[in-house]
Structure 1
Amino acid sequence: MQETSRSPDTSTPAGWLWRAVRWCITAFALLLDHLKPVRVSLLIIAFGAIMALGVDQVAELFLIAVWTDPSTGRYLGLLASSAVAGMAIWYGARNAYRLIYPRWPALQDPRGEGLRNWLPRLFGAAIPLLVLLGYVVSLNTVPHGPCGVTADCQQRVWRAVGLLIESLLMVAFFVTRRRLLNALPSREAKPVCLQPSSEQRLTRVRELGAPVLRWYMAVIALNIVATVLIAWWPEALDGIGPLAILLIAAAFFCFSGGLLCMFADRRGWPLLSTLLLASGLFHVLHLNDNHRVRQYPAMSTHQAPAAAPVESRPSFEAYANAWLEDRCANRPTCPVIVVSAEGGGIRGAAWTALVLARLTEQVRPSGSNESTFARYLFAGSGVSGGSLGLATYAALLRQPGGSMEARTGQLLSHDFLAPTLANMFFVDFTQRWLPGAWFDDRSRALTRAWERAARRQGAPAMAQPFADLYRHADGSADTSIPALFLNSTTVAEGRRFIQHPFRPMASLQQQPWTAAFDGSVWLDPRVPLSEAVLNSARFTYVSPAGTLENTPAPGVTPPVPTRLQLVDGGYFENSGTTTLLEVMTRLRTVAEQRHQSLRFIVLHISNDPEMPDFIDRHDPGHPLPLYSASCQKPDTSNPSLSGEVAAPVKALLDTRSARGDYARVQLLRTLHTSDSDPAGGDMLWHFRLCPGEYPIPLGWTISPPVFTELGRQLQQNYPLARMTQALDEQLGPPGS
């Protein structure tokens, strides 16, 4: 007897359940097919959601754009760019649904009419809501709420409400625009359909009509013009804010990518996969590498360097001897201030520069214009943002004028992120699909922003050769600026790459660096200060790895590679203290040859509020020989366990922090301190940040409330009067 299959009886509970399951499967398949032709819009929205919910560094951008920025013009620009991006996403999705795609017959299913009518509208209206969501989420990082930050608190509430109103107005426009069009006298003869799903489906893109295609062509042409303009002038969109730039880039991407996808989807071409494969192939074969390390100010990031000139940098020994002769002659024990500045983006830069500027202005004899602190500051070792802070201090110290602390705040309050993002999403994005290197990359936009901000403060040194800060016109060593050692990391070898303004310090006879590369062996004597800072601060993906090609001088070191890739110095260790210890050792050797004794005054400047302290001395009345501010210690007694997949990755990442902890402890153990005679030994002050009243960002843009928070912590957590007195006693008058 042959069995026949039957559908379950829908009158029973099991039958109803089976029917519900089938309905869910059908609805999901229908939704999935409807998302495929609008995947460009969907990718933009997904990217925005990830930024708003999952990236801590982006939180400050939302706070700046919606709350702390006093500029009404920039807020209106944010509303306008949100509306433009939303309209572009809606327009692209609406036109994508007008076509018939042979691969997706479900798009003709009458049951999907509601999706075709409402998905474009919801996608478009979601853009202002994503900005609002990012702002609301970022408010959780402000302990006392934004009303404790801005004076016009109630007025700023309307900024958030404005985004919500904009989203509602966009929905109203999308729903009523067809009725409004039909109400026009010109539409009496040929009214439009009241619902998008009622329109005739088309088989070719050109059937969309001349007005639609003209819109696409005009926007694509504008995209090309914007790309060329930003390639030539990275600061073209500076001043409108990073979020506005991201929204404008999303609008262009939706128009350009959406049109290409419509052509490809009609013919069944896997366009996005093909483009990704092409870009990956160009990358693997190094056919479009425009990330070269600039060797001299006129060099671009897409050209090979010219031959290096004759060596003109001073030697470290010449600098150290001149420094010791000028500061330490006839002193039985000479005080030497050295600094290690940790990485941490703009947070590390601002905190480092603020601490050094405050001490420079306060540690000086009454009535004297010369700072004894600056005079006895011998060297600084920086990583990433700490390197930018040290370079900012050195550039301003070279060109004195006005309050150094005020100039520091004005220089670093510049929006460095906006031109970087503009280049990333316009120029670098275009370069990824082109064979050959044609344009400067986004890292050059970042260094140009640093140079521009420094020039506004009368400090051109950021754009000039690094070594020029340390030599006189006659070639002799100039000791008026502390020696900077900026740490980068090599990709293939995983070693430190130490940049400094002197001739190569490593030789066959002596090697001051432990398992590290001496940057002067590879770098041209004309390398700009901004490029040296960049190599130390090639922050993950924001600044790409830099390709360094050069021929090392023969006989300087053992055989070395002629090509290196450089990334952020924090990949190896983020404290900068490993290099500082080696610099101190080298200086001690020079001093011993001169029969001079040194007393080191070490300032370690960290900026991670969650970092455990390595100095347990918090008595403001007795900051010698060790001192660190007292913060609430993070709870590390019971760390969360990781699964077998995440554990190896987490261990690799956490070893970076552990190397920093190890280096700090080694620094502490190297110093000769004495509680019985604090004035007779070395001393170490740890300038750290604590969890405060306002979140301090890691990116490349900063707002006035952040500087207020930094100044408050420096004033409240550190006994500056007592520390200034202690330094005065250690250093003596400027001429001594």
Structure 2
Amino acid sequence: MSNFGRNLGYVMHSLRLCIFPIASALVAVVVLLGVPQGHETLRAIAAFAPHGQDDANEISRVVSFFFGYAAWGLANWYAARLLLAQEAPKERRTREAGAAPTETQFIERWRVWFPRVFPLLAMGLIAFEMPDDSERLPIAQVVAFASTAIVALFIGVRRFLLRMRGQPTDRFGRLPAGDRRTLVVALVLSFVLLFSLTFANVAIARLLGAPALLFFALSSITLFGAIVLVYLPISFDWPQIVWLPVVLALAWAQEDWNHNHRLSDRAGFGVSDPAPEERRPPVGAQFDLWLANHLKPRATDPKDLVVKDEGANDPIFLVAAEGGASRSGWWVAHVLGTADYATHGEFSRRVFAVSGISGGSLGAATWVALLAHGRGAAASASVSAPTFPGADDCATLVTGHKDWPMPMQSECFIGRDVLSTTIGYMLFPDLFQRFMPFRNTSWDRSRGLEVAWQKDWHELFGDDTFEHPFMDLYPPVAALPASAAAPGTASSGVRFDIPLLLLNSTRAGLGRPVLQAPVTIATSEADDLFTNWPQARGLALAAVVHNSARFPIISPGGEIVRGDPYPPAQGSPNRRVWDSLVDGGYFENSGSFALLQMLKDIEAGYEARAKTGAGADAATDWAGIRDRIRVVFITNDVPNAKGEKENCVDLKTCDAFPIHQEELLTPPIGLYETRSSRADASMRALLDFLHQSRSDAFTLAMDGSQVILQQPSMNWYLTPKSRRVMWNSFSDSRTAAVAIATKAAAAASAANAKGQAKSNPGPARNTAYEQMCKLLHATPGTRTTDPLPPKDARKDWCDTLTLFQTATATR
């Protein structure tokens, strides 16, 4: 019984010693296997094929993954072995004095085998759970098990290979020379990677890939922590100092010495416009300008300057783009680009504003930026059908193919890996910054997204749209060519031939929504980031998009600090922080709230004109305009395994799922679901304001049998297969729509044959194809001067969806 107590005590002691390698193993297993975003990166490794790469760095990422995988296992073993083989001075003195009890056989075996077994178990678990998306032999899984076996073999025969003296059970009081050299080399390589990812993040991070970066970071942290924070103090008879980095990080953060995420330190923040008046027009004035110019003016005679209003009854589209990282960004850009491609550009001409949240903001900004530069061909006989582009195809965008269908161009941009660049900053320079008592803005991990977007856009399209200020997308009307404005219309406003971008963020401290828009919106329910304070109109487009997508811990909150020349804070002079910006989805995730505030402001303008007599028919005009407004909701929903949407149509009658472990889970689940419910409430409020029901709107959610099986994760990196199955949503859901309609018709026919009343099969499931066709039919036909006659245009538009070449989803 006494031996049992000694053995158990030693086991607990060894676990405390090996806290870094044990934590390293747990973190990797949980992140890569338990987190959908981490598992998505493993899919890319598992789906690798020697030929037909979808990414120029695919081979290097696979090689780096297995190299990092082996290095991670060896680091965990090596650190644990050194810590358990070390004999502290106090232990040595006790042993030399003959007062130390003889070690049990269990302790001797535990000290040898525990460092060997637990890293191999962690490696084996990842290898066992390695996904197999190749639809061939599970090559990645075989290689992972082979790598594990090689590491195990090295551990077993290393003493023979290196001609080491002594026995595995021997202990040492001083680190052997060979181990010192190994540790020096490992730490030097870690710092080389640290500074490489600081100065060439995009290139290095994408070359290695996110999972390899995780392995390298965990290996570096394990070796540094185990040797510097545990081994060295014990060798001097000091207690472990594992707590020291934590205390230092908290102390520096408390004094605000290491906070490098300040948005107010960015270039373009605090830059005032040269004109004393507000550069941005009120949204009501911009709406009037857009109404007068949103249709192409046409006159029967070149001398006739009277513009015939052919679109008096045309719909006015507003788009609410839901958040969800790259998944929603890709889907939003794809849906908008597809609608514009299928309608020969008619759809975008009738979109007044797009409100984006998180990844939806990226998709919306991508679409508007493509429109601003005239990229993306409309469907016609001379334009080839959209096909899923590969890496080689996308590489030619900058030298040509400006007339490629817009969905192909947005895939080339949003389909790129921006997770690796973010992880590269987060686990290396930004993590190092946490323990430094100074601020270095170049180590800010939020640069991982912004710099990648800027470089990718420039590389693909040859301009610096994402690097230039957001407001450069919307120059004053006077800066546009004269042909862009209709004769006799107002000239005050900003560019009106592209939709307005409303990119939403949230103040973390107050929980209030924050609007970023090229127009001013009068509302007391949200803050305007571009007003006189904060003066953020000069921020780059990439930074403005990121403000809408700052979802800690991956993307840090952007802090805004008051100071000269900004107005002082109210109250105590020590309170200088205005607030920190986080993901717009923290307030509501649909994008409907901003559209509602915008419409309320526009309506108030019409009402004011009616009261003052400036527009006698203003109230009637607004009622007619309101009836024309149609909302397009682009959601991030994915059908569940049964092929059904999980969202309930009427929340009042919805049943919630049971909450197990309610003592622990009820508070966080309640907070999260309240956020989701607020998004639904905002959508309802927007439709109520328009006197419409949900059936009057268009709801575009990704769909199809492939999406159901693949389930793309909400991630800043999507595998080529995930993007392919999303690309196939319209064709897959078209098949489902036809099957549902055929089944309903057969049931009705059978009922008629039996002389029974027609059965009511219930509302048909609104597939992505059905909703897109509904949207295309609502878009007015082309004008008489265009190639296609109005009568045939709508049918051709819907049939255009069938021209999309189905992407092979085997990889």
Q: CA deviation at 1:168?
A: 1.4
2:103 to 106, 109, 128: 109
Q: Give the counterpart of 1:129 among 100, 124, 135.
A: 124
Name the amino acid aligned to 2:197: I
Partner Cα separation in structure 2 for residue 485 and residue 531 of structure 1: 14
Tell me the equivalent position of 1:467. 471
Structure 2 residue 736 is matched with structure 1 residue 723: no
The alpha carbon displacement at 1:354 in A equals: 0.7
- 1:707: which partner in 2? 723
Q: 2:659, 2:665 within 8 Å by CA — same for their partners in 1?
A: no
1:238 aligns with 2:206: yes
Change (3 A) 1:286 1:103: farther
Deviation of 1:389 after TM superposition, in Å, equals 1.0
Match of 1:655 among 674, 677, 683: 674
Aligned pair count reads: 646
Query: Judging changes above 3 Å, is the alpha-carbon distance between structure 1 residues 93 and 295 closer, same or farther for their aligned structure 2 residues?
Result: closer
Kindly indicate whether the alpha-carbon contact (under 8 Å) linking 1:352 and 1:386 is maintained by their aligned counterparts in 2. Answer: yes
Would the aligned equivalents of 1:614 and 1:664 in 2 still touch at CA under 8 Å?
Answer: no
Q: Which amino acid aligns with 2:140?
A: R
One-letter code of the match for 1:665?
R
Kindly state the Cα deviation for residue 53 of structure 1 after the two structures are TM-superposed: 4.0
| Larger deviation, residues 382-391 vs 517-526 | 517-526
- What does residue 695 of structure 1 align with? 711
Does 2:226 align with 1:214? Answer: no
What does residue 321 of structure 1 align with? Answer: 288
| Structure 1 position 42 matched with structure 2 position 54 | no
Is 2:586–2:675's contact at 8 Å kept on the other side of the alignment? Answer: yes
- Of 222, 238, 246, which aligns to 1:276? 246
CA gap 1:26/1:586 in 2 versus in 1, 3 angstroms: same
Q: Does 1:159 align with 2:140?
A: yes
Please tell me the root mean square deviation across aligned C-alpha atoms, in Å: 3.3
Deviation at 1:268, TM superposition (A): 2.5
Structure 1 residue runs without a partner (length 5+)? 1-18, 140-145, 183-190, 300-304, 365-370, 506-510, 617-633, 676-681
Please state whether the residue corresponding to 1:36 is helix, strand or coil: helix
Shift in Å, 1:478? 1.1
Whether 1:254 aligns to 2:199 is no
2:562–2:576 CA contact under 8 A, matched in 1: no
Structure 1 letter corresponding to 2:474: Y
Residue of structure 2 in register with 1:685 after alignment: 698
Where does 1:541-580 land on structure 2 (aligned, <5 Å)? 541-550=553-562, 563-580=578-595
Q: Which amino acid aligns with 2:452?
A: A
CA contact (8 A) 2:702 2:729 kept: yes
Does the 8 Å contact 1:62/1:131 carry over to 2? no
2:523 counterpart residue number: 512
Q: Name 1:631's counterpart in structure 2.
A: none
2:259: which partner in 1? 289
Q: 1:337 aligns with which of 309, 317, 320?
A: 317
State how far apart, in whole Å, the 1-side matches of 2:291 and 2:450 are: 33
Go from structure 1 to structure 2 and tell me whether the alpha carbon gap of 1:724 and 1:635 turns closer, same or farther (over 3 Å shift): closer
Contact 1:575-1:606 at 8 Å conserved across structures = yes
The answer to whether the 8 Å contact 1:314/1:470 transfers is no
**Partner SS, residue 692 of structure 1:** helix
Q: 1:130 to 1:355 in 2, by over 3 A?
A: same
Secondary structure in 1 aligned to 2:709?
coil
Aligned residue runs from structure 1 range 444-593, under 5 A: 444-458=447-461, 460-472=464-476, 474=478, 477-502=494-519, 504-505=520-521, 511-520=522-531, 521-550=533-562, 563-589=578-604
**Pairwise CA distance, 1:237:** 2.6
What is the correspondence of 1:171-190 to structure 2 with a 5 Å cutoff? 171-182=152-163
Aligned mates of 1:588, 1:293 — CA distance in 2: 34
Aligned to 1:628: none
Give the SS at the match of 1:411. helix
Q: Deviations over 1:276-311 (max 9, x none)?
A: 011111112211110011675x46xxxxx5654535
Give the secondary-structure state (helix, strand or coil) at the position aligned to 1:479: coil
Deviations along 1:520-570, one digit per CA (max 9) or x if unpaired, are 341422111111111111112001111013579999x99998611111111
Could you say if the C-alpha distance between residues 583 and 486 of structure 1 is closer, same or farther in structure 2, counting changes exceeding 3 Å?
same
Match of 2:172 among 198, 201, 205: 201
Q: In structure 2, how many angstroms separate the alpha carbons of the residues matched to 1:720 and 1:222?
A: 54
In the alignment, the residues of structure 2 paired with residue 45 and residue 192 of structure 1 have an alpha-carbon distance, to the nearest angstrom, of 30
Deviations 1:648-689 (A, max 9, x none): 3322222111111211222232234499xxxxxx94101123
Q: Once the 2 structures are TM-superposed, how far is the Cα of residue 49 of structure 1 from its aligned partner?
A: 2.3
Letter in 2 for 1:42: I
Question: What is the distance in 1 between the residues matched to 2:372 and 2:154?
Answer: 58
How far 1:385 moved relative to its partner? 1.0
1:49-77, CA deviations, whole angstroms, 9 ceiling, x for partnerless residues?
Answer: 22134322222111112225754443222
Counterpart amino acid of residue 416 in structure 2: H
Change (3 A) 1:160 1:574: same
One-letter amino acid matched to 1:657: S
Determine the C-alpha separation between the residues in 1 that align with 2:772 and 2:538.
41
The aligned amino acid for 1:335 is P
1:615–1:686 distance in 2 versus 1, CA, 3 Å: farther
1:733, 1:23 → 2: CA distance?
95
Which segment is superposed worse, 634-643 or 172-181?
Answer: 634-643
CA-CA distance at 1:712 after TM superposition: 2.3
Using the TM superposition, give the Cα deviation of residue 339 of structure 1 relative to its aligned residue in structure 2, in angstroms: 0.5
CA distance in 2, matches of 1:170, 1:73: 21
Match in the other structure for 1:385? 359
Instruction: Tell me which residue corresponds to 2:688.
Output: 669
> Partners in 2 of 1:426 and 1:411 — Cα distance?
26
TM-score if structure 1 supplies the norm length? 0.81
The superposition leaves residues 84-121 of structure 1 with CA deviations (integer Å, 9 ceiling, x where unpaired) of 22222222222223321368899983432212212222
Q: Secondary structure at the match of 2:495?
A: coil
Question: Is the contact between residue 488 and residue 537 of structure 1 (CA under 8 Å) also seen in structure 2?
Answer: yes
Deviations 1:240-280 (A, max 9, x none): 21101111112222222222021123332341212101111
| 1:237 and 1:419 in contact (8 A); partners too | yes
The range that moved more, 35-44 or 638-647, is 638-647
Residue 85 of structure 2 aligns to a residue in which SS? Answer: coil
| 1:291-370 alignment runs, 5 A limit | 291-293=261-263, 298=267, 308-310=272-274, 313-317=279-283, 318-327=285-294, 330=309, 331-364=311-344
Residue of 126, 131, 149 corresponding to 1:168: 149
Distance 2:554 2:340 in 1: 32
Task: Identify the residue that residue 372 of structure 1 maps to in structure 2.
Answer: 346
Aligned 8 A contact 2:561 2:576 in 1? no
1:320 to partner: Cα distance: 2.4
Q: Does the Cα contact within 8 Å between 1:363 and 1:373 map onto a contact in 2?
A: yes
- Specify the code of the residue in structure 2 equivalent to 1:548: I
Alignment check: 8 A CA contact 2:548 2:583 kept: yes
Structure 2 distance, partners of 1:293, 1:663, is 28
Give 1:7's aligned residue: none
Please report how far the alpha carbon of residue 335 of structure 1 lies from its aligned counterpart in structure 2 after TM superposition.
2.3
Do the aligned residues in 1 keep the contact of 2:422 with 2:446 (CA within 8 Å)? Answer: yes
Change beyond 3 A, Cα 1:670–1:133: farther
Read off the aligned partner of 2:71 and give its amino acid letter: V
Note the alpha carbon deviations across 1:567-595, whole angstroms, 9 max, x for none.
11111111111111112333445567574
Could you tell me how far apart the structure 2 residues matched to 1:700 and 1:421 are?
Answer: 10
Query: For the Cα contact (< 8 Å) 1:417–1:701, is it kept in 2?
Result: yes
> Hey, what's the Cα distance between the residues in 1 that align with 2:696 and 2:187?
62
The one-letter code matched in structure 2 to 1:443 is S
Which structure 2 segments of 5+ residues have no match? Answer: 95-99, 296-306, 376-401, 480-492, 610-614, 734-766, 791-811
Contact 1:363–1:724 (CA<8 Å) still a contact in 2?
no
CA distance in 1, matches of 2:718, 2:648: 28
Correspondent of 2:11 among 11, 15, 31: 31
Contact in 1 for aligned 2:367/2:410 (Cα 8 Å): yes
d(CA) in 1 for partners of 2:350 and 2:537? 26
- Measure the CA separation in 1 of the matches of 2:241 and 2:566: 50
Deviation at 1:127, TM superposition (A): 5.2
Aligned partner (choices 605, 609, 614) of residue 634 of structure 2:
605
